[in-house]
Amino acid sequence: MQDSHDDGPGPLSSEEFLFHMYRGAELLDQNRVHEAKEEIEGALRLQPSDPKGQDLMAVSYFRMGMYPRAIVLYEDLVDRFPDHLTPRVNLSLCYLKTGQPDRALEHLQLVVEKDPRHERAWAYLGLVHQRRNDYDNARVCFERAGNKRMVRRMIDLATGDPQAVLRLAAAEAFHELDMGELEFSIASDDPAADHGTWESPEHAPPQAQPTPARNLLPPLSFEQRVTPSGTGFVVRADQGLAVRLDRVVAFAGKSPTVDASALPRRSRGRIQDLPVGSAARPLMIVSEATGFVLEPSEGRVLRELTLQDDIVCVREDLLVALDLSLDYENGRLPSGACDSIGMVRLRGSGLAIADFPRQHRAMGVEASVLARCRSVLGWTGRLVPRIADGEFVAFSGEGSLWIGYG
């Protein structure tokens, strides 16, 4: 019998679509993001406007650090499904990831107006206010979210007592909201169901666990390695870490030690005598530390760079910390009329932290773009820089470019 919808997908294409969708979701659950992306692309070739497929693709982009692309998809879903709250919440999380708290604020306020009991939206709204240093409103939002630890933290931050903030950061910061990976599972047994009734799962903050009585920094999952702490981060150290000591305000652990040698530069696979960073501000190898508290330079913010079999390039003078498990290579940004700018290319799976200007954003690149060399902070994806005229550098390829301004 012929389907009454002549322009719809046939039985075979529908089965293939379902196969790609479920396979993509399974691969995402296994954190095999690049393979998942290929499967989801196969599904979207068959049904390009399917909202569940678009949502899965947005999650893939999110996991790969391609936040601008995830934003494009979520903005489209918000336009098509204005009454659905989930895409607004996920879009807000992407805005937070790209340093756009004001845009996140607009959508989160709409969510809590429509659903005053939406705890996740209240939690992210609290993070927005915290980013804006509005600790009173942040406290109110975390109260609505039911997060007592964050409420206490906002009270301490509002008092301006650095010792209280440090104690709270060391003891409880790892139980805060997770701004990391989006967890995804297909919301319906039929991903090709009616597009008008689509629902998407949200990224739920992890449930708070009891704080161990004698261990300030308990063992954590990889997703919880970094937690915001005031203007800085509380970071758990895993299997060795190199860090700029001028950005460390406290260590935690049984007996943290700093190796005598700095992390050496590598160029074309060869070790050099010069340290990563500079002779005055090198990255030093830290061992035996359970964790530490980092603060940014004045007028700057710390940026978490989580790699999952990815390549990330960041300016050498902005690099604050990196896992020793990451492969790294030193190089220069081809910058035309400007002096050469030192870069570090990171590859593999692990964590790096950079000290970015407060005013910065991520910009998606799909073909080519010109950027002022002094504004380039770094990039992720398959971008290739080349010398351009004057003070500009040309980027070609696919990825996200971090630009500082203001």
Encode pLDDT of 243-299 as tens digits: 888 888 876 665 555 555 688 999 887 888 788 987 778 888 876 666 778 888 888
pLDDT for residue 143 is more than 50: yes
pLDDT, tens digit (0-9, with 9 covering 90-100), for 176-219: 333 333 333 233 333 233 333 344 544 443 333 333 333 333 33
User: Binning pLDDT at 50, 70 and 90, where does residue 115 land?
Assistant: very high
Phi, psi of 288 (to 5 degrees): 65, 15
> Token digits for 240?
């060795």
**For position 41, what pLDDT does the model report?**
92
> Token digits for 213?
């009585």
Average pLDDT over residues 147-167: 70
Quote the CA–CA distance of 195 and 199 in Å, as a whole number: 9
Quote the CA–CA distance of 377 and 361 in Å, as a whole number: 10
Question: How long is the chain?
Answer: 406
Q: What percent of the chain has pLDDT over 90?
A: 21
Least confident of 70-79, 260-269, 293-302, 354-363: 260-269
CB 315 within 8 A of CB 342: yes
Domains of the chain: 11-197 (1.25.40.10), 225-404 (3.60.160.10)
Top-confidence residue, 269 or 370: 370
Q: Whole-prediction pTM value?
A: 0.49
CB 44 within 8 A of CB 50: yes
